[in-house]
Structure 1
Amino acid sequence: MTAADAPDTQGTQDSTVDPRPFYTRATAQAAALIGTVRPEQLTGRTPCAEYDVRTLLSHIVGGTLRIAVVGEGGDGLAVRMFVDGVGDTAWPTAYEAVRSRVLRAWAGDERMTTPVRVPWGNIPGRDALSAYVMEIVAHTWDLSEGLGRPLALDPELARFSLAAARVTLPDGSREGRPFEPALPAPEGADAYGRLAAWLGRRPLSSTA
């Protein structure tokens, strides 16, 4: 049984699971969603109160560039988490460029066991990339909410991400982390709803 197949109520993740296929799928999903963005949507709200759609896209591209640098053995903490100068219709191209760079950087098996430096410490690459799956899947949900849910999202990616989130972001105080305390998941919430609640997010429909 893989982490993605395990019941997410366990709150644990199998440390032997290779996160690379999940990351590839998660970034393909994000790329498809980014491809739907229309210029008039860029100022729309997202579940991240401080980000409109444009700022969220800037963060997704900047954060993905950081992951690429980490995978290349560089100092990802020196990379800004936002990018500037991307035109209103150029976000799909900008994201595809950094996404391709990440996939190349993390392709080797040795990267899974080699320690890398991330904001929360020096950890094996496998653990870091699992957390980055969670990050892009969470932001894909954020973006989907901001765009009016134009595409169906892969529930297996949300289940994998929730298992990773429960390891990286245990319940309780999250001081110093860019996440609010976990919220109760709404009754009947799907995998993305449960992930969003664990990360302290609410659907836009509940915050209007």
Structure 2
Amino acid sequence: MTYAKTVSLPVPADEAFALVTQPERLRRWMAVTARLELRAGGAWRWTVTPGNVAGGTVREVEPGRRVVLDWGWDLMPGAEGSLGTVTVTVEPAGDGSTVTLVHEGLDVEQEASHAEGWDHFLGRLEVAAAEGDAGPDDWAAAPDPIDELVAAEAALAVLQHVLRQVGPGDGDRATPCSEFTVDELTEHLLDTLVDLGAMAEAELTRPEGADAEDRVAVLAAEVVEAWRRRGLDGMARSPFGEAPAPVLAGIVALELLVHAWDFAQATGAVITVSDELVTYVAGLAERVVPGARGRAFAEESPAPVDADALTRLAAYTGRTPLALV
């Protein structure tokens, strides 16, 4: 069976093509992480929602107008493997453009499930084209099932939305990490992600560039992929000695989520996070934070009586809201 749908966008065709092919644009409506080699034979891989990873090969590209992908799921319970082809075609239409998506090669059940997904994401594409960003995706907020790496992807989605709100004049602002400004905290987080990748036996490098969201998104995706390749069995090495692999992998979600709170506190950015994700990450924190106080974490701070779940987690890691400092 075949799914097909056309949406109208209030942007020129070249902008519409960028929205459906550029990783930084895809993250604003379709994916938590995205990698796409825009050439025939190139590889692509998208974390569509936490724990659900699509990937395959680019079959055809007509620059500015059309891209054809061999579609498959690398990681999606019950749906792994090749699932046909997806063709996205962009056409000028008056002052805007149209985007037509056709997904061929599905059986009846697959068409029904993919239709629900494509309807959801094409609706978000319309919002992103009109407003620049579709905003937090409810489908990414509280993944179930969840593990250390799915939580990391969900926490990354939270952090990305915060970082997109950070402006060029925010770099010198103080953060709840008293030794770091916003710009310095970005560099610290990138260093931490490189270290977390090394714990998964991957040699990663910090991406260059001026855009914090892009740099963090690219590197965090590489860290999660490294941990998935390694797996969560057995013991893993850290700078402080060996520890169970799930404990060290869980630090990724903790770092991403708590630093999202730091950036939001520093800049006034809106942060959207589910209680389910915070509760899960708080459980990960309990395995790591007590033994790292005085080194990676300060002593627990008192949380305000009306604190939300994320602020309570931040207090557990030794942070205080800037308004109370």
Task: Answer yes or no: same fold by TM over 0.5.
Answer: yes
CA distance in 1 between partners of 2:319 and 2:245 (Å)? 27
> What is the letter of the counterpart of residue 157 of structure 1?
L
Report the Cα offset of residue 36 of structure 1. Answer: 1.8
User: Which 5+ residue runs of structure 1 have no aligned equivalent?
Assistant: 1-16
Give the counterpart of 2:159 among 21, 30, 38.
30
CA distance in 1 between partners of 2:173 and 2:273 (Å)? 20
Which of the two has higher C-alpha Rg? 2
Give the counterpart of 1:190 among 277, 286, 308.
308
Give the counterpart of 2:275 among 155, 158, 170.
155
Aligned partner of 1:180 in structure 2 is 298
Give the aligned length. 180
| Distance 1:103-1:75 versus aligned 2 partners, 3 A rule | closer
CA distance in 1 between partners of 2:309 and 2:283 (Å)? 11
RMSD: 2.4
CA distance in 1 between partners of 2:227 and 2:165 (Å)? 27
> What is the letter of the counterpart of residue 285 of structure 2?
A
User: Which 5+ residue runs of structure 2 have no aligned equivalent?
Assistant: 1-145
Give the counterpart of 1:65 among 194, 198, 206.
194
> What is the letter of the counterpart of residue 94 of structure 1?
R
Q: Is the 8 A contact 2:207 2:218 kept in 1?
A: no
Aligned partner of 2:259 in structure 1 is 139
Percent identity, aligned pairs only? 25
Greater RCO (CA < 8 Å, at least 6 residues apart): 1
Aligned partner of 2:233 in structure 1 is 113
| Distance 1:59-1:154 versus aligned 2 partners, 3 A rule | farther
- Relative to the length of structure 2, the TM-score reads 0.51
CA distance in 2 between partners of 1:192 and 1:24 (Å)? 17
Q: Is the 8 A contact 1:58 1:84 kept in 2?
A: no
Aligned partner of 2:168 in structure 1 is 39
Q: Is the 8 A contact 2:261 2:271 kept in 1?
A: no
Report the Cα offset of residue 95 of structure 1. Answer: 1.4
Q: Is the 8 A contact 1:137 1:157 kept in 2?
A: no
- Relative to the length of structure 1, the TM-score reads 0.76
When you count helix as a share of all residues, which structure comes out higher? 1
- 1:54 aligns to what SS in structure 2? helix
